[in-house]
């Protein structure tokens, strides 16, 4: 499918300096621009952005596979242009695939239909919503969920401003967002299942899962994130927050796939049945009474892996931030895996205060 394209030409006093400041800043966030035919081109998670300076005008083009991702790119660009323009307030007018000005193209309001406990600390919430087919994806398994703030049944949702930035309601009407995995989606019956970990010190996400009653409203935007790349052999490792994603990944693998899976949970009662190719060996790691995010179980498991000789492999890791940092280092520095051969993502951060 052809990408959607949107462009803007922005008049600023020092377009060259502004472009350089933005490029340097984005490089710190692992977004690097490469020179191609006199243009600066960067690949972002949602699409491609091209920068050029012509006659002291900043010319920006964004390309994305759908309208939701195009809006995300426009918002990243517009907010950075405004931030790095300093004293100036540049006027940004986009051409091509304008937003409707009311709701984000990637956003859907959904309603809680039912919930049930899968384990003592994992609750499945089933949501219903209209027009949810955009969340059906084999690669982008995740959504950003929008939960009502305390004391408000229905918040106001963010909306796209004409300059491309995403605007948020006043704090008391603003939803709180957290990332979750779509465990199951059936666009025909309008249903989405999300499995929530019920953890101690509940924040807005687990609190919603604990307390929300059928009929409660929340929002979802996406789909987002990256799953696996095709390979012959896989190593998957994660804690209970990654269990929904690992379960989906395992279901999507070809019958010929082989590899190793490490899942850290509290104890046997937190294990869930998984459907996986027979060549995938699954090891549950029990941390017992140790708090989540406090053990070395995943690292110890991954260190025992017998990696194949061939390079047709993919390693996927998601867990607490510190654990992921160690595992990423192991995969890159000790195993020498390339960026194409692995993905390690922090799903949550241990905060004690």
Choose between 158 and 227: whose C-beta lies nearer to ligand FAD.
Answer: 227
Residue partners of 129: CB distance under 8 A and separation at least 6: 108, 109, 110, 111, 190, 192, 220
Quick one: which of 46, 146, 157, 180 contacts ligand FAD (CB under 6 A)?
Answer: 180
Cβ(165)–Cβ(130) below 8 Å: no
How many alpha carbons fall within 13 Å on the CB side of residue 45?
Answer: 14
- x/- letters, 141..160, toward ligand FAD (CB under 6 A): -x------------------
Site string for ligand FAD, 276-295 (x = CB under 6 A): ----------------x---
User: What is the closest distance, in whole angstroms, from the C-beta atom of residue 125 to ligand FAD in the complex?
Assistant: 10
Residue 204 β-bridge partners: none
Tokens of 148: 């009502």
Site string for ligand FAD, 231-270 (x = CB under 6 A): ----------x--x--------------------------
> What's the CA gap between 77 and 68, in Å, rounded?
14
Interacting span for ligand FAD (CB under 6 A) from 108-116, 204-212, 266-274, 281-289: 204-212
What does the alpha-carbon distance between residue 177 and residue 104 come to, in Å, rounded to a whole number?
A: 15
Burial of 7 (0-12, 13-18, 19+ CB in 10 A): middle
Task: Give the one residue of 75, 206, 295, 341 binding ligand FAD; rule: CB under 6 A.
Answer: 206
For ligand FAD, which residue of 18, 197, 220, 263 counts as binding (CB under 6 A)?
Answer: 197
Closer residue to ligand FAD, CB minimum distance, 196 or 233: 196
Q: Closer to ligand FAD at the Cβ: 5 or 202?
A: 202
Select from 107-115, 174-182, 266-274, 296-304 the region that touches ligand FAD (CB under 6 A). 174-182
| 206 token code pair | 């687990």
194 exposure class (CB count in 10 Å sphere: 0-12, 13-18, 19+): buried
Looking at 12-20, 111-119, 189-197, 299-307, which segment touches ligand FAD (CB under 6 A)?
Answer: 189-197
Beta bridge partners of 111: 128, 217
Binding site for ligand FAD (CB under 6 A): 142, 178-181, 195-197, 199, 201-206, 225, 241, 244, 292, 347-351
């Amino acid at each position: 499918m052809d990408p959607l394209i949107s462009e803007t030409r922005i008049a600023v006093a020092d377009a060259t300096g502004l472009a350089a400041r933005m490029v340097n800043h984005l490089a710190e966030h692992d977004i690097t621009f490469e020179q191609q035919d006199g243009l600066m081109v960067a690949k972002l998670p949602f699409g491609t952005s091209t920068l050029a300076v012509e006659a002291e005008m900043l010319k920006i083009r964004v390309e994305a596979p759908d309208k939701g991702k195009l809006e995300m790119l426009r918002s990243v660009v517009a907010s950075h242009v405004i931030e790095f323009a300093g004293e100036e307030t540049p006027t940004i007018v986009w051409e091509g695939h304008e937003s409707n000005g009311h709701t984000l193209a990637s956003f859907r309001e959904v309603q809680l239909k039912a919930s049930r406990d899968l384990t003592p600390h994992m609750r499945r919430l089933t949501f219903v919503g209209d027009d949810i087919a955009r969340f059906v994806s084999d690669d982008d398994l995740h959504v950003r969920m929008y939960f009502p703030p305390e004391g408000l049944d229905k918040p106001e949702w963010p909306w796209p401003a004409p300059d491309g930035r995403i605007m948020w309601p006043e704090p008391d009407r603003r939803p709180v967002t957290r990332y979750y995995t779509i465990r199951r989606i059936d666009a025909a019956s309008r249903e989405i299942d999300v499995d929530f970990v019920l953890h101690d010190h509940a924040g807005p996400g687990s609190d919603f899962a604990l307390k929300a009653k059928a009929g409660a409203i929340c929002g979802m935007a996406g789909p987002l994130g990256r799953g696996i790349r095709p390979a012959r052999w896989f190593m998957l490792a994660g804690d209970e927050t990654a269990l929904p994603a690992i379960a989906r990944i395992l279901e999507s693998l070809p019958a010929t796939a082989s590899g190793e899976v490490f899942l850290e949970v509290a104890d046997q009662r937190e294990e869930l049945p998984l459907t996986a190719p027979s060549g995938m060996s699954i090891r549950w790691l029990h941390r017992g009474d140790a708090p989540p995010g406090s053990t070395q179980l995943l690292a110890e498991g991954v260190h025992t892996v017998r990696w194949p000789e061939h390079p047709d492999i993919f390693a996927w890791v998601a867990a607490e931030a510190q654990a992921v940092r160690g595992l990423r280092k192991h995969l890159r520095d000790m195993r020498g895996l390339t960026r194409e051969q692995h993905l390690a993502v922090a799903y949550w951060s241990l905060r004690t205060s």
